[in-house]
Structure 1
């Protein structure tokens, strides 16, 4: 038997609270609160089951999913999108799952957390061919970034030969099959396990503070292929949002191999309605890596053909009131010449230039290319971020992509959230100041001060030695972003000043007000070595000043 992780005291309290809420008076959701997606996948056609599984007849399908936003009630969506006949499911349960000691999924659940889900009050439901069904909501105090186990019993099995909905998630194992109805059991004895989820397409929560759902739309990089379990840039972004206190649901609609022209599964334009516009409480979409798969092979489409597929998606999103956030395309240098041609690279660079042009129609840019490229060889991944196939990022590369997302996009004002500095004379990633707040060097002789007119000034013994020259605006924040840029924003989140040092490979991790009167930005949290940006106002100045004002 595999060892399981020790349950923390907080998880014990959670288990007790959920067990208490198992009484009938707790088994309902509040209809006045919108539902927000906390887990989702993009459906693909798996084809029919093989004979090895006896069509799931009188078997329990148990699946473990990592959620993002927490909530006070839960419901699930089950799909028969590609089926030609209906099928019956029964005794559907949801509970808190358990990871093994090595961090991989187990098939067990936390005692006392199990809840039965119903469908219009019934424990059994028939899912019509080509359709999906939503369960009733059940009161469930689900924490953010939790492991949630769902169990589905098939009393009659799946009709032979029908196509099943699944997602090629590529990580796990996260699916477990066991004989009999064991949905309510804490521990089961699975006879089969796999990495790809079936039938369940979303888990949704009610959260009174929810800012809505943001859809991550893309291909294998978005889906998290080649990332280890509980990693991938969407999950890493969820961790950042949670740490910043931003209750946002993330719906991962990545399909491995998917494209805007060609590719695996339905093309981007054919699934955009279902996977973006119909997602509950959707507020924005991050359009990620589908284009990369369309450019692969010996005869890639032209730039004009690619953009002709993207522009209608921007228009459709805007027509539904959704923001459309464009992501630049990650490097592909080093892939086999048969997979990535000079013509493909030329189009990739054209697409990235188009995205970085303010007239593109995008509401924001997430610069995945800059976050992951090697500064010395921008056509390739930074080696520490490359999974090894020169196409996919590894876990560190996924973190770099997540860090490239400005959290100000998720706030009502557009200003990124900040925390106060944790030590004298230094801002670490995510730390910053609002107006009329100072940051002193450790010897107290130098002061970085953010004025009420948005100008940031460095004083040495009360003498001004450096200024961002950003006066004349309503102030927002001065902060070191997770992507490595130190910025000054106005009250609407517009960047007025930037050190122009973004990039996961060499971005800033510590801004230091030095004792000698210099302001230095370093690529390490210790604030040591050669700075990557400097105000050049003190004896320790070692780097050229790189100013970028807007």
Structure 2
């Protein structure tokens, strides 16, 4: 689908509903998510006057790091201050020699409005692969309804006063994450971000507490052992459905997938079980298949690979029903069919199934609730994922335009380069901050709204689509004009940027005469 240009006066934050992230200089490595959780409303709880120390288990290593905090569901502005990062050897203790301070635009605190997020400045710090990093921060003002992530299977520590920088805390132990949503890294050779999307089985429910035995953690260890630098973000929400639950996967897909940095792949797993188990009236097999087709089409429009997993075996679960099994079987048959649109399928039903009892889970692979996988089941899930589905970055070769005012297929721009109209009055420029703009003199006529991104090249594809790609090959913006034969793009002397096919114009910025 077309990604429209944003008018010049619209900021990235307004266009996307997110806080703008710091701009990258040309040639800097991209940001990739090494850890993340999906936000949910929590509370009431008052963390005013408290330090929170939250433990992040990373996926991919990096040399620079940034954090994102959220007040998406809060009922008042949220103040976060005195943020520290340090390696976490165990419990609430940190390695003081690794301590780093994170700031917000150079300031030690930030006020986050209701419904918004805030990202820290980049911090130079070696981040280990599959390692534990403590993020400590002080909340000076009272809170009530907060943004966090429940059923985290991970402890945090809460202490009185501002003690973020202390290696050891006198603190109480609690579960779940509060306010902290993401840790992103930069580093050499990063291949992109994989989003694990789903419900409780993605979130690692029933795995050993504090052991990081969720399937995305195990997959990250496999990738690291293979020398593959893929970041994984876990966007599972326990109890969340494909169609039901608030917000359901259909509603949160853009927030939890497209708004993450460097996303190239999605693995979507167990969320439909929360539509199937209650036999929801609005979640027939046909309803769920239609929802899958919507998600797949939206992912493919952004050149994100969408990997499906079949519904797991669940016959021994307390709320199993024949109708629920019928729906799960139909959904599985769809995913395994050649026209599903899935870019690959992990047959989780087959992986977990007891060969002696079809539709039942192998005893070693099921938790005590007879529904969720055990640690061994999560290991089997991760082992069934094909690592070849996550290839290295491969950016298309791009040649500079050979003549004024024209871009032919295979030609384009890199950061800092411009195409000028033949009269010199107008320019198409890929700026070093990642924004692609059409200008007339010093006036910006229109732009892609991608300032702060890792844009690496903008080019016209052989089939007539004009694409802006990031440094790991992620699609940041596209004209949506593909499917043409013999297309050409012209920056006309009237200021209009137009893609022509033999039959006539197929796309334009409509900036003529501005």
TM-score, normalized by length of structure 1?
0.65
User: What is the correspondence of 1:251-262 to structure 2 with a 5 Å cutoff?
Assistant: 251-262=233-244
Using a 3 Å threshold, how does the CA distance of structure 1 residues 118 and 260 change in structure 2: closer, same or farther?
A: same
- Counterpart of 2:294? 312
User: Does 2:258 correspond to 1:277?
Assistant: yes
Counterpart of 1:70 in structure 2 is 61
Q: What is the CA distance between 1:239 and its match in structure 2?
A: 0.5
Query: Secondary structure of 2:34's match?
Result: strand
Contact 2:191–2:393 (CA<8 Å) still a contact in 1?
no
Higher RCO by CA contacts (8 Å cutoff, separation 6 or greater): 2
**C-alpha distance in structure 1 between counterparts of 2:244 and 2:214, whole Å:** 24
Residue 210 of structure 1 corresponds to which residue in structure 2?
190
Correspondences of 1:389-404 after superposition (within 5 Å): 389-404=369-384
Q: Deviations over 1:339-360 (max 9, x none)?
A: 2210100111111111111110
CA distance in 2, matches of 1:318, 1:48: 39
Q: Whole-Å Cα distance in 2 between the matches of residues 366 and 319 of structure 1?
A: 22
Question: Equivalences for 1:91-170 in 2 at 5 Å?
Answer: 91-99=82-90, 106-158=91-143, 161=144, 163-170=145-152
TM-superposition CA deviations, 1:520-549 (whole Å, max 9, x none): xxxxxxxxxxxxxxxxxxxxxxxxxxxxxx
Q: Give the equivalent residue in structure 2 for 1:223.
A: 203
1:153 and 1:207 map into 2 onto residues whose CA distance is 28
Aligned partner of 1:179 among 147, 150, 160 = 160
What's the CA shift for 1:378? 2.4
Shift of 1:370: 1.3
5 Å-filtered alignment, 1:26-41, equals: 32-41=28-37
1:494 equivalent in structure 2: none
Most deviating of 280-289 and 291-300 = 291-300
Distance 1:84 1:318 in 2: 36
Gaps of 5+ in 1: 1-27, 50-54, 100-105, 415-550
1:126–1:413 CA distance, 2 compared to 1 (3 A):
closer
Residue 196 of structure 1 aligns with which residue? 176
User: CA distance change for structure 1 residues 377 and 248 in 2, over 3 Å: closer, same or farther?
Assistant: same
Match 1:237 to one of 210, 215, 219? 219
1:484-532 per-residue CA deviation (whole Å, 9 max, x = no partner) reads: xxxxxxxxxxxxxxxxxxxxxxxxxxxxxxxxxxxxxxxxxxxxxxxxx
SS in 1 for 2:177: coil
**1:289-368 superposed matches below 5 A:** 289-297=270-278, 299=280, 301-336=283-318, 339-368=319-348
* 1:430-479 superposed Cα distances (whole Å, 9 cap, x missing partner): xxxxxxxxxxxxxxxxxxxxxxxxxxxxxxxxxxxxxxxxxxxxxxxxxx
TM-superposed deviation, 1:413: 9.6
- Larger Rg, first or second structure (1 or 2): 1
Indicate if the aligned counterparts of 1:92 and 1:151 stay in contact, CA closer than 8 A.
yes
Q: Distance in 2 between matches of 1:90 and 1:298?
A: 46
Is the contact between residue 107 and residue 187 of structure 1 (CA under 8 Å) also seen in structure 2?
yes
CA-atom RMSD, angstroms? 1.7
1:369 corresponds to which residue?
A: 349
- What residue in structure 2 maps to residue 44 of structure 1? 40
> Partners in 1 of 2:151 and 2:120 — Cα distance?
23
Which of 61, 83, 89 aligns to 2:52? It is: 61
Contact 1:29 1:138 in 2 (8 A): no
Residues 352 and 250 of structure 1: is their aligned pair in 2 closer, same or farther, counting only changes over 3 Å? Answer: same
> 1:298: Cα distance to partner?
5.0
Query: Which SS does the other structure have where 1:334 is aligned?
Result: coil
3-state SS, counterpart of residue 170 of structure 2? coil
| Distance in 1 of aligned mates of 2:250 and 2:347 | 22
Distance 2:195 2:374 in 1: 22
In the aligned structure 1, how far is the partner of 2:29 from the partner of 2:323?
50
SS of 2:333's partner is helix
Distance 1:184 1:364 in 2: 45
Structure 2: unaligned runs, 5 residues or longer: 1-22, 395-514
- For 1:297 and 1:361, the matched residues in 2 are separated by 27
Cα distance in 1, alignment partners of residues 357 and 256 from structure 2? 35
How much does 1:272 deviate? 0.3
Question: In structure 1, what is the Cα distance between the partners aligned to 2:25 and 2:380?
Answer: 38
Count of matched residue pairs: 368
Deviation at 1:399, TM superposition (A): 0.3
CA distance in 2, matches of 1:292, 1:39: 25
2:104 partner SS: coil
Give the TM-score of the pair, scaled to structure 2. Answer: 0.70
In the TM superposition, what is the alpha-carbon distance from 1:261 to its structure 2 partner?
2.1
Identify the residue that residue 19 of structure 2 maps to in structure 1: none
Contact 2:103 2:120 in 1 (8 A): yes
